[in-house]
Amino acid sequence: MLDYKDNYLLKLLIQANYDLRVDDIQKLLGVSKRSAYYSIEKIDEFLTTQGLPKLVHTTDKGITLNRETKDRFSKDIMDSISDVYVYTPNERVAIEILVILCRDTEINISFLESLFHVSRNTIINDLKQLRKTLGVYNLSLEYDNTLGYIITGLETQRRSVLHHYISRYDYVLKMKMYPFYNEQSYGTIKSIMRQLELDLHITYVHTSIENLSVLISIIKDNHFNPVTFRNEDVKQIQASNEYQLTKKYFEGVIPEAEYLYIAIHLMGLRLHVADEYITYEDEYIKELVAFLIDEFSKITLIYFDEDNQLYKSLYYHMKQTINRLKYGIIYQNKLKEEIFESYPQVSQITKTVCDKLEEKIGYPINDDDVSFIAMHFGSSLKRQQRHIHSFSILLVCLNGVASSKLIRKEIEFMFPSIHIIDAVSLDDVATYQDDVDYIVSTIPIHNKAILDRVIQVNGILNDVDKDHLRQIFGRHITEPNKNLRERIMAKIKPYIKPHKIDMVERLIEREIINKEPLINTNIERMRKPMMKELLTAKTIILQDHVKTWEDAIWLSAKPLLESNSIEERYVEKVIDNVHEMGPYIGIAPDVAISHARPEDGVHHLGISLLLLQQPVYLANRDDKPVRIMITLASPDSEIHLTALQQLSGMLMGGLDQLLAATSKQDILQLVDQYSK
């Protein structure tokens, strides 16, 4: 027997105008691939009992019903699929964007209400999301008293968002709830595409050609203005085989003004033969490839000087990519999720690099192109049998995933090579605890078995949190090694050809980094003082009030100045930083940690604390009261970690007691309590 889900799928297949792939069915039903196949098997069994042919399975296309079967059931099933299918909010927004772009009537809220059978408030919320989505493409949603809603902006961007939603929500378009294009036009264009494949001796990815055929059909049958091309690009495109064949086969089918646009799409799909055409931007593309490799190396400290295959593959990829991006053409990478899963660290680093590349080229790069580029880097590392040193971490928040998004974003921005395996609530920690190096948590975790791997942070990372994370996850060359590299270069530079200097510097740096585990091991063996050894009666000051926040910083630092742990310029640097960057040292209400870098005048490790009875306002901000001003100074990035961790624990767990202290002895009792 067919259950509701199976009946539903059968109706989808009856209504669909062309083949549905298994992943289409998964998305439409909201089920796993296994469940989708199970429903397909049950429908086949049902059709057999009715004396009808089974579902038609076509390699690379998908599944459809035999025409006889469709005709038989179409007479019996009166409900259209649009009456049955319940669209998700994202699917509604996609359809709404396409409807507005392809409008042949006034599109207003009432029209969209009737289209989806939803309330006015639902459509209003959709339009809010729609505006945000269009903003990513530098497009605007406007309302005209005659036309209704219209989407305004550059034609390249209008087509870009059109292509995006055709590709991403192709399974929804197959239900034909709205006549975006003429079926006969689509059939003609699809046939021409097959002929182009034969003449160009290229086999395109089936879904890419299918989506391109839909795109051209929509542009042909609706109100889209031609794209304006640069003169240099016109010459390049017209010299291609793609343009000549487009002109040959599309004459009389679509306007001549669209030949260039179709040809550049076909050139963009030439993933493996981009070397066959010459581009006037060749030097620029080489510069971009060098930029990609150099930025990736800066983050990972892995260099690719001898991997000509990586350079070549990125060159060919960027050669066809740049033309696409210029004109808003983005192709889906069906292996995207698989690549992100297989190369998580490489993908995250590539995303960071591509964010910088966006600024350089001035065009957005979406995750599909990021995954293509990540694939090239991942393959190179595999060839060289090299690995990115990274940590796997678990995020733990009070409400699990929902409250962890901000922290996740900040950590991935700070440490692109880190692999965050998941974000969970406290109840789910046990499931992952044996598979991660560290657990970053916004709530206390008391499990002794994992306590040494827990890093507790605030719900919004403050400067102390970030500093602590940098000490653990940040890779760097220590100052002695940096000086060593500079001394070596100074001695050998006269003997190196000028164009080889950069390469030699990188090779020396790589060798130094390869020795870094030994250096880190020695640092780890250095004893890190506890908080109670640093925060003593001599380094604690109690005072009623001070006139200014600058006075508070100077008074807090006084014990460290007197012990020659820091120089006066260290305090001056902190004050200058606050003037320049704002009250960043204020880490919580009533608490600030005054700190600068080791090179700003630190001689010895030290912590001092000033407790005020009346608050002073940091940077003269009413929302930044400070009663506890702590001065922290460390000569390197490691030795203060134990004391800092204990200090953070005291500020989170004993802040109320600290604020209520009336003597040094009260404070020292707390210090002793948290120095364990």
Between CA 251 and CA 254 the distance in angstroms is 7
365: tokens are 């790069």
Other Cβ atoms less than 10 A from the Cβ of 284: the count is 13
131 vs 147: CA distance, rounded Å: 18
Q: Please tell me the number of Cα atoms within 13 Å of 456 on its side-chain side.
A: 19
Distance, CA of 120 to CA of 126 (rounded, Å): 10
d(CA 152, CA 134): 10
277 CB-near residues (< 8 Å, 6+ apart) = 236, 239, 240, 267
**Four-CA torsion 396, 400, 404, 405, nearest 10 degrees:** 140
Phi first, then psi: what are they for 328, rounded to 5°?
Answer: 70, 25
Phi first, then psi, for residue 449 (nearest 5°) are -65, -25
Among 31, 23, 20, CA closest to 58 = 20
Cα 118 to its chain centre, rounded Å, is 33
Question: Scanning the structure block, which residue is given the tokens 């001035």?
Answer: 362
CA separation for the pair 119, 113 (Å, rounded)? 6
Strand partners, 420: 393
- Could you give the angle at the alpha carbon of 637 between the alpha carbons of 636 and 641, nearest 5°? 115
Burial class of residue 649, CB neighbours in 10 A (0-12, 13-18, 19+): middle
395 strand-pairing partners: 423, 440
Report helix, strand or coil for 665. Answer: helix
DSSP string, 91-111: HHHHHHHHHHHT-SS-B-HHH
Residue 163 in contact with residue 156, Cβ under 8 Å? Answer: no
Full DSSP string of 540-593:
EEEES--SSHHHHHHHHHHHHHHTTSB-HHHHHHHHHHHHHH-STTEEETEEEE
What are the CA-CA distances from residue 508 to residues 295, 480, 486 (Å)? 18, 14, 10
Contacts of 184 (CB under 8 A, 6+ apart): none
Q: Report the alpha-carbon distance of residue 473 to residue 391 in Å, rounded.
A: 7
Q: How many CB atoms lie within 10 A of CB 232?
A: 11
Residue 169, SS3 per DSSP? coil
For residue 602, report the phi and psi dihedrals to the nearest 5 degrees.
-105, 130
Instruction: Kindly list the catalytic residues.
Output: 595
Handedness of CA 81, 84, 87, 92 (dihedral sign): positive
Q: Could you give the CA distance from residue 633 to residue 69 in angstroms, rounded to a whole number?
A: 79
Tokens of 13: 């297949």
The answer to whether the beta carbons of residues 41 and 25 sit under 8 Å apart is: no
